[in-house]
Amino acid sequence: MTLRLCVFDAYGTLFDVNAAARIAAEDDPALAAVWPRLAEDWRRKQLEYSWLREIMGEYADFWQLTSDALDWALEAAGLSGPDLHPRLMRLYRELPAYPEVPAMLERLRDMGVGRVILSNGSPEMLTAAIVSAGIDRMLDATISVSDLRRYKPAAAVYSMIPERFGLDPAEVLFVSSNGWDAAGAARAGFRVAWVNRAGAPMERLPHRPHHQLADLTAIPDLL
């Protein structure tokens, strides 16, 4: 079946989630030695809170989860100060896209393939990131889980794509840097490309991606 739509996860897939801590550390000696750990803890707790709130049925939007995760990561790193948390959150709103993203999206556009984001992110934070990265005109739609008040990998989230676009899941290429997200999308019937930038092991989950890539450059070639 022909692939007609390319659906991207946002954070960690199109946008560099480590950039906020890395940029802040450039002129902050307290962050210089610890920012990699801070970034890792921040991202890990952000995801953990989304899974745990999904299990508990206690939804809060992704911006709140991002703030809560940063609080935890800062405390774990022994960092404090009235300006640090607000500054890191501001930087997170304007995360840069990975270098290959604009050219990859342009190739897809030239091929006539639809380009959509499906993200846990709240609409406001997604809009800010897309505009800041300069890719707002390269996308056809941005879909947030906020409409459902659910989080990936809930099956209802992935169902938003075929319901909205009237496509068979097999006509969709789903792209994510998260192994667990790739598994959830494969379970939903999508063709799936896992962007494994870190060279991580394959997740031990029932459903696996169809493709594994080091970055997004080759996505158009899969179509």
Which of the residues are catalytic?
9
Contact by Cβ (8 Å): 133, 97: yes
Q: What percent helix, strand, coil does the chain show, rounded to 5?
A: 50, 15, 35
Rounded CA gap, 169 and 165, in Å? 10
Sign of the torsion angle spanned by Cα atoms 76, 81, 82, 88: negative
CA-derived radius of gyration, the chain: 17
- What SS3 class is residue 211? strand
> What three-state secondary structure class fits 193?
strand
Sign of torsion over alpha carbons 145, 123, 172, 207: negative
Total Cβ atoms within 10 A of residue 187: 16
Tokens at residue 39, please?
């970034």
